C-alpha cells in the first residue's frame, strides 16, 4: 500500500514540475516578444541619437581642423 502512495507522490510531483516548466517557457516567450516590441518602439529614437552624435562629431572635427 505504501508503494502506491509513493507512486502517487511521484506522479503528482512530475505533473507540478511539468506545469512549472510550461509556464516558465511561456514567460520566456512573452519576454522575448515584449523585448522585440520595445526595440521596435525605441529604434527611431536610437537612429536619431546616432545620427546626432555623428553630426556632432563631424562638426567638432571641422572646428578642430579650422583651428578653433
User: Is 26 inside any structural domain?
Assistant: no
Length of the chain in terms of residues written:
68
Question: What is the average pLDDT value for the chain, to the nearest integer?
Answer: 93
CA distances from 24 to 6, 10, 27, 33 (A): 27, 21, 5, 14
User: Is 24 inside any structural domain?
Assistant: no
Q: Which domain covers residue 55, as residue numbers?
A: 38-63
Please say if the pLDDT value at position 59 is more than 80.
yes
Q: What is the pTM of this model?
A: 0.59
User: Is 49 inside any structural domain?
Assistant: yes
> How far from the centroid of its chain's Cα atoms is residue 22's Cα?
19
The string of pLDDT tens digits covering residues 16-49 is: 999 999 999 999 999 999 999 999 999 999 999 9
For residue 68, what pLDDT band results from cuts at 50, 70 and 90? low
User: Is 2 inside any structural domain?
Assistant: no
How many structural domains are present in the chain?
A: 1
Amino acid at each position: 500500500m505504501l508503494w502506491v502512495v509513493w507512486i502517487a507522490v511521484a506522479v503528482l510531483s512530475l505533473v507540478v514540475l511539468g506545469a512549472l516548466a510550461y509556464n516558465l517557457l511561456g514567460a520566456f516567450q512573452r519576454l522575448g516578444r515584449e523585448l522585440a516590441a520595445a526595440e521596435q518602439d525605441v529604434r527611431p529614437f536610437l537612429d536619431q541619437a546616432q545620427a546626432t552624435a555623428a553630426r556632432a562629431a563631424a562638426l567638432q572635427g571641422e572646428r578642430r581642423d579650422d583651428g578653433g
